[in-house]
Amino acid sequence: MKFCAVAEGDADVYPRFGQTMEWDTAAGDAVLRAAGGIVLDREQHPLRYGKAGLQFRNGPFVAWGDRKAIKPSSAADR
């Protein structure tokens, strides 16, 4: 629901500081990306999936509704 609020423009950003699993974020991430947003990890890289070595865990992330609102970096442009 929070990803959808960002995708619809009802919120600009959704920070998540606790751990999640990939299946908790995959659908929302896809909806947000289709709407022009992006989800970045703590290193400012787009959230990755298929991390079997990490038992499919996500670390902290921030979901942004507008890629252009993010400070330009090569990681955010991927």
Annotated binding-site positions for Mg(2+): 24
Is residue 23 within 8 Å of residue 56, measured between CB atoms? yes
Q: Which residues are known binding-site members? A: 24
The burial of 6, by beta-carbon neighbours within 10 Å (0-12 exposed, 13-18 middle, 19 or more buried), is given as: buried
Tokens representing residue 45 in the block: 């890289």
Q: Which two tokens stand for residue 3?
A: 């990803």
CA 22 vs. chain centroid, Å, equals 11
